[in-house]
Structure 1
Amino acid sequence: MGPVDRERLLGRDYWLVRSTPLPATTAADVEAHAEAHLRWLLGLEADGTVLLSGPLTSGPGVAPGAGITVLRADDAEHAARIAAADPFVVAGLRTAEVFGWRVNEGSIGVRVSLGTGRFSWQ
């Protein structure tokens, strides 16, 4: 393999939001607000703001309510306003840290069956 052609890297900027539950947050607290949180996220997905989102399932400090969301936003302030509107944040169950994230590498594959309405993510 020759030198990397850096001009071909994607170089697309997004905002990564790391959501961390506060110490007193319980699984019951998360469940009580899950419907509002999911409704909020699906609205952001529908308007093109959310690229990816989901709960963290393992790792340091992971507890009920921990998650990552990748946003399309104008700037850090805009991304922070979006993150602050999360029903889990509004309810005082978690905090949200916003990071600028430049995506350069990776691969995504999706197969869609038009006849069955099924898809697979690779």
Structure 2
Amino acid sequence: MSAADPGHPVTPDGEEQSVVFLCLSQLNGADAGELSKHMAEHRQWLAALERQGRLFAAGPLLDDDHRSFGSGVLVVRAASRDEAGHLLDQDPFHVRGLRTYRLHPWRINEGVLRAIVTLSDGTADLT
């Protein structure tokens, strides 16, 4: 990690990397009914992380028929793995033991993110 920013590890060539943390959140014996009881609180927790700029992306994993089966993915911004783990430990699903998670540092190398902001009518679109 660089001394200036602990959230940006340095490659062997001395180049800073932008790293986020990928969380694979998996069911821990809970059924869909048990998850649904706490879904509103889970979504409120996600929205709070989003407002803080800590949540990059989140959503359920889907089966081949595009239906959720209870597991999900979260990508969070944090200065360290420990900080990311502390954030994820606060997920209401994790607090209640309904899901467990695996956490991976992830360097995003490629991809496209497009944002269209129309100033005249205040609309925005992300593709």
The answer to whether the aligner puts 1:38 opposite 2:53 as a matched pair is no
The answer to whether the aligner puts 1:96 opposite 2:90 as a matched pair is no
Structure 1 runs of 4+ with >6 Å offset? none
Amino acid at match of 1:26: D
Match of 2:88, SS? helix
- Where structure 1 has 5 or more consecutive residues not aligned to the other structure, the ranges are 1-6
- For each residue in 1:45-75, what CA deviation from the matched residue of structure 2 results, as whole angstroms up to 9, or x when unmatched? 111111111111126xx96331111111111
Q: How many residue pairs were aligned? A: 112
8 Å CA contact 1:19, 1:97 repeated in 2: yes
8 Å CA contact 2:57, 2:76 repeated in 1: yes
Alignment correspondent of 2:6: none
- Where structure 2 has 5 or more consecutive residues not aligned to the other structure, the ranges are 1-12
Amino acid at match of 2:76: L
How far did residue 115 of structure 1 move? 4.3
Deviates more, 1:108-117 or 1:29-38: 108-117
Q: Which of 57, 64, 73 is the matching residue for 2:69?
A: 64
2: CA distance, partners of 1:33 / 1:117: 33
Alignment correspondent of 1:13: 19
